[in-house]
Structure 1
Amino acid sequence: MRLLRYGLPAAVAGLLLLLVAGEYAVARPSRRIRDVAYVPATDSAYRVGRQLLDVYTPRQRGPAPLPVVVFIHGGSWNSGSKNLYSFIGRRLAKQGVVAVVISYRLAPQVRVPQMADDCARAVVWTTQHVAAYGGDPQRVFVMGHSAGGGLAALLATKNELFTRWGLAHNPIRGAILDDPAGLDMLDYLQKMEYPGDEQYLVPFGNDPAVWRTTSAMYSVSASSPTFLLFVGGDTYPSIQNSSARFRERLQAVGQQPSYTVLPGKKHIPMVLQLYWQHNIIYQQLLKMVGAKAG
């Protein structure tokens, strides 16, 4: 679980930029509203350029409100930006979904609890404002890859992230986890099995109690929303193992998550495949959220 694994190597970032550059030719039926602030500049938690989101909507839509997917990027909790993932927003919009792609604060400036708080505030903003963009605030789903998958799982299972911001209940209807990292950092950081694992003490700190509270494994309940889990057949053993145990934990509380292993897929290709509209992740996602593919 080294930085090279969960971060964004220069070659991968370059490939993502190429995908972004080429997206317009194949995703024209969408509209992007960029750099919307979900934390006001007067807030004590505000950091310039980080607490922003982009909204993607179909250019043509009917009168009925559309399902909403909030996408959380990965990057080892210390890198990444919404701007690298516009191809995901456009693919979702093209297929009848209002997509909200977010950035959030990163380490070393903040730790994971503050990142989770940013992501929760982005979801709160979405529930309050997405109707103006044609989205249904009663059908909000979260999606994330790598570290973003771990944050998405935490939002879906930890209701207090929303009650602290005045919501009576968790607004998330379901979560799509794409090769998620960080589902059980208590176990991971106690073992320290891989070279360089000490770097994760920067975003997670030294307190095992925090490792536990920032791990979705320990906040799963029978009332948690529906999960779709996708794991690369050739991804890192830590992701394979924690995802399998997360599935078992959900099953233990009466959940029946969808769990799909994609043969031959490594960690980074698990998100790059989202450039193509008809891949299996979109197919299952559209069924979950109740959208009609374009």
Structure 2
Amino acid sequence: MNKLILCIAAVALAGLLSACSPLSLVNAVSPAGSVQASSAIRYGSDARNMLDVYRPVAGLENAPVIVFFFGGNWVSGKREDYAFVGRALAARGFVVVVPDYRLYPQVRYPDFLLDGAGAVAWTVREIARYGGDPQHIFLMGHSAGAYNAAMLALDPRWLGKEGLDPKLLRGWIGLAGPYDFLPVTNRTTQPVFNAPDTPPDSQPVNHVSASAPPALLIAANKDSVVNPARNTGGMAAKLRAYHVPVRELYVDGVGHATLVASLSNSLKGLAPTLDAVERFVRSDGDN
């Protein structure tokens, strides 16, 4: 894709991706290539408890696994819109799981974390059948999805409900994640977290410990939705205080929404997000 087309796509995405709305344009410019998908796999009892798995057509054995949680302020989003993420990461040799999870108003905090834990538990049990290594699982997410990934990686309550421990994770990756947002000022987010009575233990920064998995934190320098200094910078500082390996990457040329679009193979020129994720996973979380 030449620079002109890339710029046109970026401008279109800036409007299309506001509040993480449907990403049909990104998928349209991100062909499947040599990647196959297994769709609509149930991992729980609710209608939203479905996931898709992406993997190279050639097949893999014991490949690293990435569970990707999409954003949407916990009120919108569907796994099909993020096929471009699964395709791009699978093309790099990973097995990728993209789950749906329940949203507000069907549920509030913390119920969507229970769904996330259920998706991880399914991955541990079943991913070997798709060529993935259940001993090499990474959690990843964008925006609200990065929050979900962080909470599952840092707060042992949620995976514990599935009989699992965050120590099984090789690392977690957050893109433009909200990790420290009390008091809740966003009107859409307020009812999701029962503001103004949002409990402090809802904040990922309050669950950092020396046993936390390594992290890769990526944010747009000009993110006007989630403050990168307070959230990405604050989380990185907290992890370092506990001597947890962490890498921060701040990028120009994208915003809160278009950061996730840079994961697309066709739009990877927007920011080095895809390469950074591959390096982190290939290095087994070693920053």
TM-score by length of 2: 0.86
What's 2:218 paired with?
Answer: 230
CA distance, structure 1, for counterparts of residue 225 and residue 81 of structure 2: 26
Partners of 2:169 and 2:213 within 8 A in 1: yes
Unaligned runs of 5+ in 1: 1-7, 41-45
- AA matched with 2:52: D
One-letter amino acid of the counterpart of residue 226, structure 1 = P
Q: 1:221 aligned to 2:221?
A: no
Aligned to 1:4: none
Counterpart residue number, 1:54: 52
Show the 5 A alignment for 1:150-161.
Answer: 150-161=147-158
Please give the secondary structure, in 2, of the residue aligned with 1:201.
Answer: coil
**Secondary structure of 1:274's match?**
coil
Partner of 1:21: 28
Q: Which has the higher helix share?
A: 1
What is the one-letter code of the residue matched to 2:180?
A: D
2:267 corresponds to 1:267: no
Which residues in structure 2 correspond to 1:1-294 (within 5 Å)?
11-12=16-17, 16-24=23-31, 27-40=32-45, 46=46, 48=47, 50-62=48-60, 64-167=61-164, 170-181=167-178, 183-185=179-181, 187-189=182-184, 192=185, 197-206=186-195, 208=197, 210-236=198-224, 238-240=226-228, 241-276=230-265, 280-290=272-282
SS at 2:102's partner residue? coil
The alpha carbon displacement at 1:217 in A equals: 0.5
Letter in 1 for 2:69: I
Q: Is the 8 A contact 2:152 2:166 kept in 1?
A: no
Instruction: Decide whether the 8 Å contact of 1:173 with 1:225 is kept in 2.
Output: yes
Q: What percentage of residue pairs aligned between the two structures are identical?
A: 32
Residue 14 (structure 1) shift: 7.3
Q: Extract unaligned runs of 5+ from structure 2.
A: 1-12
Structure 1 residues 169 and 73: CA distance shift in structure 2, 3 A: closer
SS at match of 2:103: coil
Deviation (angstroms), 1:67: 0.3
Number of paired residues? 266
**Alpha-carbon distance, 1:15 to partner:** 7.1
| Structure 1 residue identity aligned to 2:24 | L
> Deviations for 1:209-245, whole angstroms, at most 9, x for unmatched residues?
x532221110111110010011101102742122211
d(CA) in 1 for partners of 2:139, 2:234: 20
